[in-house]
């Protein structure tokens, strides 16, 4: 019993998810707690988010009755909101009592509600902070969140107004994102009257320039060349910079002197709303590929479909009327991906889907897919376990959700295909934190059976344990697997394991674990190293699998379109069918008879506390 208590405390301290109830022996109002909190805040303000997170969690553990706890909760909420984990941010805000919840806590609460898909509640809280004393950064956050929330509520003019206010406080990188958000609203959401109002209201700013550009493009589309030319000329002659000036210049040249036929790739991504952050990362990768093909004469047209199946189908239908659109890419999400695929086949437009949804490549000959699918992960993982490790007996510990069930079924089928067996399987609730019962059953022991001494424990009836979950959950499971006697087995996982948090939180309990992913930024492959270098140089951040996916998809199409013989949609389709050994970030790539990308996934293993590529 004593061993179990000690283990529980170790897990709690490692994960930071369970808080002890014993007060700090040093005194909660003394200088120690204030110094601990100040050091954590300094780390956060210095941009060292991971270390700050650890310090704030440690503060809560050591000073569990301190009157400074609300401030620690506030900073933890800020950290989780910063990284898009809005539900966790709201959980920490909820720990602050109403009488201690000041303007900053209400700001983070409102912004997190907007990010978590609750725009009405979030906007209401944020509007109540008008005139509240906030720092410049927090005022910018408030305006940005109000813009996002109003956009989700289809209040597009107020959304533009708050973008305008946020721009006055934003640096270059924030301004780029805000102007992109405004561009989507101006292009896709405003009617003619609202667009005219926006051009007037924001005259003399980048927003006003973009509004005028959209007026010119709409005039051109309806055949009013005189109005389109006059508006384009005003934009071109204005000294006011804005990101889409090149589009205005292109339109003006086309109207005045004629232009060569356009060659366009239309890209459907969620660029706003709940999945906007993911779509924006894919877009970054695609724009980096375009930068490498700057002389191709091909342009990207990004369409915000906000994960909406109807919008994606409509975007494909609209593309049919524009001969310059030779191919389409996206979407990311399942429903939108399938809807776009069906429409693309009907309209005979080549589509390179990025969705993992089952059945998309089978839609027809015009539909291809470049995505990290569950099937590809399981196929790579099981083949390595059987052929390279000689493992034939497996167990599974599976979350009771859609991903877990799908992965378990695929894993079982693939293991049996290789002649292996599933010796044991246990499921656990998606939000579980205690896995004692499931682990003991995997080991062949009853949940209430006394724990035998280490020397009397029998080996588990399997050689490998497959857990299809994410790194934060694995950090809870792995220590309990070892504690309850399942040792000496090979741990196997999916791409959700590929996080530095895993080794930081689970330590030696995941040493030797093997998992797969579609991208590994630490790869020794020259193509990957060059991509990482270019990406970090451009964005000052490390790329993820999303950026790599966008880069590869764009690079494939841009390379094919560089061939002068590829002039029509049918040419693009044939070129995709015959693509052979294309050097993507995952190695040589081609498409099978269904249109599914064939490429090598990254096999990764934790060795000496670090994630390393082993293939």
Q: What is the CATH number of the domain that holds 68?
A: 1.25.40.10
Packing angle between helix 172-188 and helix 156-167, nearest 10 degrees?
160
- What sign has the CA pseudo-torsion 537, 538, 542, 545? negative
pLDDT of residue 358: 87
Q: Is residue 281 over pLDDT 50? A: yes
- 410 and 509 part of one domain: yes
239 token code pair: 């000294």
Are 510 and 552 contained in the same domain? no
The mean pLDDT value for 58-81 works out to 90
Confidence bin at 31 (pLDDT 50/70/90): low
Distance in angstroms (rounded) separating the CA atoms of residues 54 and 57:
5
Task: Identify whether 331 is preceded by a cis peptide bond (ω within 30 of 0).
Answer: yes
Residue 482 located in a structural domain: yes
Average per-residue pLDDT for the chain: 89
Question: Does 13 score more than 70 pLDDT?
Answer: no
> What local confidence, expressed as pLDDT, does residue 3 receive?
40
pLDDT band at 261 (very low <50, low <70, confident <90, very high): low
Query: What average pLDDT does the segment 59-79 reach?
Result: 90
Kindly compute the dihedral angle of the four CA atoms of residues 392, 393, 395, 396, in this order, to the nearest 10 degrees: 20
Identify which of 378, 421, 392, 397 has the alpha carbon closest to the alpha carbon of residue 481: 397
Is 460 in the same domain as 354? Answer: no
Looking at 103, 126, 152, the residue that finishes a domain is 152
The pLDDT score that the predictor gives to residue 606 is 95
Is residue 344 included in any domain, yes or no? yes
Kindly state the DSSP code that residue 349 receives in the 8-state scheme: -
Cα separation, 397 vs 425, in Å, equals 6
pLDDT class for 20, splitting at 50, 70, 90? very low
Q: Residue 4: is its pLDDT beyond 70? A: no
> Does residue 494 fall inside a structural domain?
yes
* 368 and 380, same domain (yes or no): no
pLDDT digits over 439-481, tens only? 999 988 887 777 777 666 788 989 999 999 999 999 999 999 9
pLDDT class of 597 with cuts at 50, 70, 90:
very high
Which of 187 and 297 is assigned the larger pLDDT? 187
Q: Is residue 205 part of a domain?
A: no
Examine the domain organization and report whether 380 and 513 are in the same domain. yes
pTM: 0.58
In this prediction, residues 37-55 reach a mean pLDDT of 89
Instruction: Write down the pLDDT at residue 30.
Output: 54
Region 573-578: what's the mean pLDDT? 95
Q: How confident is the model at residue 565 (pLDDT cuts 50, 70, 90)?
A: confident
Question: How far is it, in rounded angstroms, from Cα 457 to Cα 486?
Answer: 9
**Same-domain pairing of 456 and 347:** no
The alpha carbon of 498 is separated from its chain's Cα centroid by a whole number of angstroms, namely 13
Average pLDDT over residues 364-385: 94
Strands 514-517 and 602-607: antiparallel
| Residue 18 pLDDT exceeds 50 | no
Q: How far is CA 389 from the centre of its chain?
A: 32
The residue ranges of DSSP E strands in 494-592, in sequence order, are 514-517, 582-584, 587-591
Given a cut of 80, whether residue 274 has pLDDT beyond it is: yes
The alpha carbon torsion through 58, 59, 65, 66 (nearest 10 deg) reads 180
Q: Tell me the pLDDT tens digit for each residue of 381-427.
A: 999 999 999 999 999 999 999 999 999 999 999 999 999 999 999 99
In this structure, is residue 429 part of a structural domain? yes
Same domain, 392 and 489: yes
Question: What confidence tier does 115 reach under pLDDT thresholds 50, 70, 90?
Answer: very high
**Which structural domain range is residue 284 located in?**
261-372+548-597
576 and 486, same domain (yes or no): no
Same domain, 422 and 479: yes
Residue 56 confidence (pLDDT) above 70: yes
Answer yes or no: do 499 and 386 share one domain.
yes
Same domain, 394 and 506: yes
Q: Strand, helix or coil at 568?
A: coil
For residue 416, CA distances in Å to 12, 378, 421, 444 come to 38, 12, 6, 22
Residues 266, 356 within the same domain: yes
Mean pLDDT of 535-554: 94
Structure confidence by residue, pLDDT tens digits, 327-344: 999 999 999 999 999 999
Residue 235 lies in a domain: no
Q: Is residue 221 part of a domain?
A: no
Is 523 part of any domain?
A: no
Give the per-residue pLDDT at 396. Answer: 97
Return the minimum-mean-pLDDT range out of 8-12, 33-37, 347-351: 8-12
Q: Which of 104, 122, 152 is the last residue of a domain?
A: 152
- DSSP SS3 for 487: coil
DSSP-H helix ranges across 189-275: 192-201, 206-221, 225-237, 245-257
Question: Is the separation of the CB atoms in 378 and 451 below 8 Å?
Answer: no
| Total domains present in the chain | 3
Q: Assess contact for 8 and 14: CB atoms under 8 A.
A: no
Q: Is the pLDDT of residue 23 over 60?
A: no
Last residue of a domain, one of 110, 134, 152: 152
Question: Using CA atoms, how far apart are residues 285 and 547, in angstroms rounded to an integer?
Answer: 4
Closest CA to 142 of 159, 168, 166: 166
Whether 260 shows a pLDDT value over 70: the answer reads no
3-state secondary structure of 196: helix
pLDDT at 221: 85
- CATH number for position 423: 3.40.50.2300
pLDDT for 259: 47
At 389 the three-state DSSP class reads coil
């Amino acid at each position: 019993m004593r061993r179990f208590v000690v283990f529980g405390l170790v897990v709690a301290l490692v994960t930071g998810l369970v808080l002890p109830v014993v007060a700090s022996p040093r005194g909660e109002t003394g200088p120690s707690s204030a110094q601990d909190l100040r050091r954590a805040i300094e780390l956060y303000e210095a941009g060292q988010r991971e270390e700050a997170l650890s310090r704030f969690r440690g503060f809560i553990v050591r000073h569990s009755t301190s009157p400074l706890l609300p401030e620690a909760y506030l900073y933890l909420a800020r950290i989780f909101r910063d990284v898009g984990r809005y539900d966790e941010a709201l959980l920490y805000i909820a720990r602050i009592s109403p009488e201690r919840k000041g303007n900053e806590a209400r700001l983070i609460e409102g912004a997190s509600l907007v990010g978590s898909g609750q725009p009405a509640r979030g906007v209401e809280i944020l509007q109540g902070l008008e005139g509240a004393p906030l720092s410049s950064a927090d005022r910018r956050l408030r305006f940005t969140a109000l813009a996002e929330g109003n956009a989700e509520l289809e209040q597009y003019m107020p959304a533009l107004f708050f973008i305008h206010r946020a721009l006055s406080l934003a640096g270059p990188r924030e301004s780029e994102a805000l102007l992109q958000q405004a561009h989507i609203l101006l292009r896709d959401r405003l009617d003619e009257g609202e667009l005219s109002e926006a051009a007037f209201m924001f005259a003399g700013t980048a927003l006003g320039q973009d509004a005028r550009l959209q007026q010119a493009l709409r005039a051109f589309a309806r055949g009013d060349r005189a109005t389109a030319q006059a508006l384009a000329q005003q934009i071109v002659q204005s000294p006011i910079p804005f990101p889409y000036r090149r589009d205005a210049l292109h339109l003006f040249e086309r109207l005045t002197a004629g232009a060569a036929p356009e060659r366009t790739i239309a890209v459907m991504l969620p660029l706003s709303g709940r999945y906007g952050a993911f779509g924006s990362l894919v877009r970054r990768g695609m724009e980096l590929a375009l930068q490498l093909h700057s002389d191709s004469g091909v342009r990207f047209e990004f369409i915000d479909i906000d994960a909406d199946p109807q919008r994606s189908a409509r975007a494909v239908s609209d593309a049919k009327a524009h001969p310059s659109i030779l191919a389409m890419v996206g979407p990311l999400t399942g429903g939108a991906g399938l809807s776009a695929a069906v429409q693309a086949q009907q309209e005979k437009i080549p589509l390179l889907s990025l969705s993992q949804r089952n059945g998309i490549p089978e839609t027809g000959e015009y539909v291809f897919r470049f995505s990290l699918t569950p099937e590809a992960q399981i196929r790579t993982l099981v083949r390595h376990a059987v052929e390279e490790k000689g493992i034939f007996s497996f167990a599974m510990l599976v979350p009771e959700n859609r991903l877990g069930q799908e992965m378990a079924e695929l894993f079982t089928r693939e293991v049996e295909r290789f002649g292996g067996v599933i010796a044991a399987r246990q499921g656990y609730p998606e939000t579980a934190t205690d896995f004692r019962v499931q682990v003991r059953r995997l080991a062949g022991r009853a949940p209430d059976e006394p724990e035998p001494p280490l020397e009397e424990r029998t080996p588990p009836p399997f050689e490998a344990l497959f857990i299809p979950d994410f790194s934060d959950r694995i950090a809870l499971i792995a220590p309990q697997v070892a504690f309850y006697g399942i040792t000496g087995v090979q741990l196997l996982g999916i791409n959700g394991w590929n996080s530095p948090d895993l080794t930081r939180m689970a330590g030696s309990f995941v040493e030797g674990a093997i998992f797969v992913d579609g991208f590994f930024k630490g790869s020794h492959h020259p193509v990957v190293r060059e991509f990482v270098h270019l990406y970090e140089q451009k964005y000052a951040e490390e790329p993820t699998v999303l950026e790599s996916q966008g880069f590869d998809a764009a690079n494939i199409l841009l390379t094919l379109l560089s061939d002068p013989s590829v002039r029509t949609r049918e040419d693009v389709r044939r070129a995709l069918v015959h693509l052979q050994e294309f050097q993507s970030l995952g190695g040589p790539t081609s498409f099978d008879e269904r249109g599914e990308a064939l490429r090598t996934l990254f096999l990764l293993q934790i060795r000496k506390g670090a994630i390393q590529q082993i293939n």
